[in-house]
Structure 1
Amino acid sequence: MDGLARTHLTDGLDALQRRYGGLSGAELLRPLVRDEFRGRIALVSSFGTEAAVLLAMAAEVDPGIPVIFLDTGKLFGETLRYRDTLIKRLGLTDVRTIEPDPAELKAADPEGLLWQSSPDACCHVRKTIPLDRALRGFDAWITGRKRFQASTRAALDAVEQDDDGRFKVNPLATWSRDRIQAEFDRRDLPRHPLEADGFLSIGCMPCTDRVAPGQDPRSGRWAGQDKTECGIHLSAVPRTVSFI
Structure 2
Amino acid sequence: MRIEQMSDFFTARVDEYDEHMLNKVEGCKDGYVKMAELLPQDADEILDLGCGTGLELDEIFKIMPFIHVTGIDLTQAMLDKLKQKHPNKNLSLINASYFDYDFGTHKYDTVISFQTMHHFSHEDKLKLYSKIFQSLKTDRCYIECDYMVESEEEETFYYSENKRIRKEQGIPDGEFYHYDTPCTINNQIKLLSKVGFKTVKMNFRVGNSTIIVAKK
Q: TM-score, normalised by structure 1?
A: 0.36
Higher-Rg member (1/2)? 1
